[in-house]
Structure 1
Amino acid sequence: MASGFSAMAEHELERSPASSSKGAAQPPRWLFADTGD
């Protein structure tokens, strides 16, 4: 379950134009929304 979600997240970050700068340093909040942390 986590592996599939992380793979999807990686794809989203790759498509995101800010992944090179902002995305790498500060991932979107939705990335951790399903972690329950």
Structure 2
Amino acid sequence: QAETSQQSARAQRDQELGEHIQRVWDEHFHVYGV
């Protein structure tokens, strides 16, 4: 995987958002039992 400094701003943001979305999804998965 490329170093963060070598990724485009878009790629960095997509990665950060992906991690945030995954964390929120994991938290709510247990609440709703989906």
TM range (shorter): 0.3 to 0.5
Q: Greater RCO between the two (CA within 8 Å, min separation 6)? A: 1
- Structure exhibiting the larger radius of gyration computed from Cα positions: 2
* TM-score normalised over the length of structure 1: 0.41
